[in-house]
Amino acid sequence: MTTLESPAQAERPAAQTGTGAPAIALENLSHDYGTRRALDGLSFTVQPGEIFGLLGPNGSGKTTLFRILSTLMMPSGGSARIAGFDVTTEPTRARQSSGIVFQARSLDLKLTVAENLMHQGHLYGLSGALLKQRSQQVLARVGLSDRAGDLVETLSGGQQRRVELAKGLIHSPALLLLDEPSTGLDPGARRDLWQYLRILRDEQGVSVLVTTHLMEEAEHCDRLAILNSGKLVALGAPAELKAQIGGDVVQLETVSPWAAAQLAQKVQQRFSVTTAVVGATVRLEREHGHRFLTDVVEAFPGEIEGVSVARPSLEDVFIQRTGHRFWTDANPDAAGTPTPRKEKH
Ligand code: ADP
């Protein structure tokens, strides 16, 4: 990875030095598609200089919120402000305060990197020497100064994603909106991308909003909003959210949801713990999970097919708040977290 320009060389984003308004402020934001409620009364803020994740399974409302923040769509109710500007009543100023990187590639492969940036700059009213200077600055920022004259089609997927970032930054926004930024990137390119986002935050004070359905990616964020069916189910730093779960997460597998419901009741009575049934699994939170496992397996011989004990993950936070798993058959790869250690009995 090429070294980025130093903070002294780089200019601070204009809006960041402005009114001190939050990078994003949502108040009771709702959206309906006909009779289908996609966003249901969301209220939270994203502070200047934080990397904020919007985590949720498919259908939770991430794209809808992203489109509203990008001013592509008006919300049905409530308000969304970017750097203090209402996306409904001041869309132009909201747009000027944010750089948007969509999931789908927006680069012209047959043009050079610099030409792509020039086009984007013109869209934001930049031209001449200022645009050239901005173009050089953002390319330095994403470590691609030496590729300015190359056709985009000659760049790797990870490098192209960095050009997308540079495009989003051309007008010095204080906020970057990124829709599922890791999609299609190999692990190395993902690591690079996150390193660049942290540099943008630390050296430029840029705020970043990332939508993701990958827990692994959400772990990189300073704070998260976890969505389920258009509702906010959790808000906070990943470590903070996980720490709210007491002790270890213990899972007892049975042969069927019915057997799990029976076992859950018995475990609850015998050990005075709160249990939850998720499919054919009984799930509970307990200090010293390993010790508890021995007791529970001895207490109910033949009723438990398998057990696992693990430190709480974001998946556990999601289950605790919603009562169901994050991923479904339609969304099987969403966990992105290591499978807990499993011991068969
Ligand atoms: P996500 O990005 O988290 O997968 P979306 O914002 O795409 O979620 O969808 C949220 C809900 O709104 C889902 O129930 C989805 O089916 C519905 N939805 C999304 N777009 C439309 C649309 N154009 N018309 C009707 N319903 C939609």
pLDDT of 10 above 60 = no
Average pLDDT over the chain, rounded to an integer? 88
CA dist 315 → 5, 44, 82, 264, 323 (Å): 38, 21, 30, 20, 11
Quote the ligand 1 centre to 61 CA distance (angstroms): 6
Band of pLDDT at residue 326, cut at 50, 70 and 90: confident
Give the strand order in the sheet containing 77-82.
Answer: 36-46, 24-33, 77-82, 85-86
CATH of domain 15-240: 3.40.50.300
- Of 242, 221, 243, residue with least CA distance to 55: 221
- CA pair distance 121, 168, nearest whole angstrom: 10
Q: Is the CB of 69 under 6 A from ligand 1?
A: no
Q: Is the CB of 38 under 6 A from ligand 1?
A: yes
- CA pair distance 266, 248, nearest whole angstrom: 20
SS (H, E, C) 122-152: HHCCCCHHHHHHHHHHHHHHCCCHHHCCCEH
Give the residue whose CA is nearest to atom 14 of ligand 1. Answer: 59
Q: Is the CB of 49 under 6 A from ligand 1?
A: no
Quote the ligand 1 centre to 185 CA distance (angstroms): 24
pLDDT of 67 above 60 = yes
Q: How many CB atoms lie within 10 A of CB 214?
A: 21
- CA pair distance 189, 195, nearest whole angstrom: 10
Compute the half-sphere exposure of residue 190: CA atoms within 13 Å on the CB side of its CA: 14
Quote the ligand 1 centre to 330 CA distance (angstroms): 14
Give residue 185's pLDDT. 80
Q: Per the confidence metrics, is the pTM higher than 0.85?
A: no
CATH match for 245-344 among 3.90.1720, 2.60.40, 3.30.70, 1.10.287: 3.30.70
- Of 207, 213, 216, 209, residue with least CA distance to 238: 216
Give the residue whose CA is nearest to atom 6 of ligand 1. Answer: 61
Ligand 1 atom at minimum distance from 64 CA: 6
Q: Is the CB of 207 under 6 A from ligand 1?
A: no
Give residue 14's pLDDT. 43
Q: Angle 113-123/157-169 helices, nearest 10 degrees?
A: 30
Ligand 1 atom at minimum distance from 63 CA: 2
Quote the ligand 1 centre to 64 CA distance (angstroms): 6
Residue 224 phi, psi (nearest 5): -135, 145
Q: Give Dmax over CA atoms of the chain in angstroms.
A: 78
Give residue 333's pLDDT. 45
Q: Is the CB of 64 under 6 A from ligand 1?
A: yes
- CA pair distance 183, 155, nearest whole angstrom: 17
pLDDT of 332 above 50 = no
Residue 175 phi, psi (nearest 5): -135, 135
Quote the ligand 1 centre to 200 CA distance (angstroms): 31
- Of 47, 52, 44, residue with least CA distance to 22: 47
Alpha helices per DSSP H over the chain: 62-69, 91-96, 113-123, 128-141, 157-169, 187-199, 215-218, 238-243, 257-271, 289-299, 314-322
pLDDT of 2 above 70 = no
* Ligand 1, pocket-test mutation among 32, 33, 67, most atoms within 8 A of CB: 33
Quote the ligand 1 centre to 37 CA distance (angstroms): 9
The stretch 91-112 carries a mean pLDDT of 93
pLDDT of 340 above 80 = no
Quote the ligand 1 centre to 33 CA distance (angstroms): 8
Give residue 149's pLDDT. 97
Give the residue whose CA is nearest to atom 7 of ligand 1. Answer: 63
Q: Is the CB of 61 under 6 A from ligand 1?
A: yes
Ligand 1 atom at minimum distance from 227 CA: 3
Q: Is the CB of 62 under 6 A from ligand 1?
A: yes
pLDDT, tens only, 158-205:
899 889 999 999 999 999 999 998 887 888 888 888 988 998 899 889
- Of 232, 165, 237, residue with least CA distance to 200: 165
The residue ranges of every structural domain in the chain are 15-240, 245-344
pLDDT of 226 above 80 = yes
Quote the ligand 1 centre to 293 CA distance (angstroms): 41
Give residue 189's pLDDT. 82
Considering only 25-39, 128-142, 320-334, which range has the smallest mean pLDDT? Answer: 320-334
The stretch 282-306 carries a mean pLDDT of 91
Give the strand order in the sheet containing 231-236.
Answer: 98-101, 175-179, 207-212, 51-55, 223-228, 231-236
Amino acid at 37: R
pLDDT, tens only, 98-107:
999 998 889 9
* Ligand 1, pocket-test mutation among 39, 54, 63, most atoms within 8 A of CB: 63
